């Protein structure tokens, strides 16, 4: 199997689907499937956390920007 960069939830979904297909075809054993699924689950959580952190940072920047605009108006 070629090495893939799993950067999005869609990437992880496609990777797991391909992995399951390989397992069902008898190309990999159950222990390999379980290990890859476990690591994929951790990666999925990490991607979700990173996406949430990025969105939160963006919102905080918007609030800070709007707050400074409102402070200038009040002066």
pLDDT by residue (tens digit) across 13-65?
Answer: 999 999 999 999 999 999 999 999 999 999 999 999 999 999 999 999 999 99
Question: How much is the pLDDT for 16?
Answer: 96
Q: Has residue 1 been placed in a domain?
A: no
CB 40 within 8 A of CB 16: yes
State the virtual CA torsion across 39, 44, 49, 55 in degrees, nearest 10: 150
Number of domains within the chain: 1
pTM of structure: 0.71
Domain annotation covers residue 58: yes
Classify residue 2: in a domain, yes or no. no
Judge whether residue 1 has pLDDT over 60. Answer: no
Residue 17's pLDDT is 97
Determine, yes or no, domain membership for 3.
no
Query: 25-33 contacts: CB < 8 A, separation 24 or more?
Result: none
Residue 54 covered by a domain:
yes
Residue, of 12 and 66, whose pLDDT is higher:
12
Tell me the C-alpha distance between 64 and 53, whole Å.
16
Residue 33: which domain range? 9-74
In a domain, 53, yes or no: yes
Query: Is 4 a domain residue?
Result: no
Q: With a cut of 90, say whether residue 72 has pLDDT above it.
A: no
């Amino acid at each position: 199997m070629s090495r893939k960069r799993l950067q999005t939830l869609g990437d992880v979904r496609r990777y797991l689907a391909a992995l399951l297909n390989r397992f069902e075809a008898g190309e990999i054993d159950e222990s390999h499937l379980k290990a890859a699924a476990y690591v994929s689950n951790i990666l999925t959580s990490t991607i979700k956390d990173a996406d949430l952190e990025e969105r939160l940072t963006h919102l905080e920047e918007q609030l800070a920007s709007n707050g400074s605009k409102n402070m200038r108006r009040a002066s």
